[in-house]
Amino acid sequence: MRHSGKWMTSLDDRILEFLHENDPTTPTKMTTEASLPYSRQHVDRRCKRLHEEDLLKNLGNGVYMITEDGEAYLKGHLDTEDWRYINQDGEDDDGLTEDTG
């Protein structure tokens, strides 16, 4: 289960998933190759925000790649609301069990 912050949108997940499966690329290619129903400008804005949050790395010239934090988020090991890591047993870094209720 992914733990997305309130600042995140469903497009953010799509961008991260696309970059997880593909080489670093631009918002233009993401829009066309992933058939995202959003404008290139909107995808670019979300990439910039994901870069600000360290889930994407800007390689220059509008090319982005997913970071280790982005990979951890996709695997459900990073809560982007509280910015805490969760291990595979559902515990956060200090060993407390995640509240599921």
Q: How far apart are CA 101 and CA 98, in angstroms?
A: 9
Q: Can you tell me whether residue 54 is helix, strand or coil?
A: coil
Q: Which helix (H) or strand (E) holds 58?
A: strand 56-60
Q: How far apart are CA 54 and CA 48, in angstroms?
A: 10
Domains (range + CATH), the chain? 10-85 (1.10.10.10)
pLDDT at 96 over 70: no
Global confidence as pTM: 0.84
Provide the percentage of residues in the chain whose pLDDT is more than 70. Answer: 86
pLDDT band at 54 (very low <50, low <70, confident <90, very high): very high
- 30, two tokens: 């993401």
CA-based nearest residue to 83, from 20, 7, 1: 7
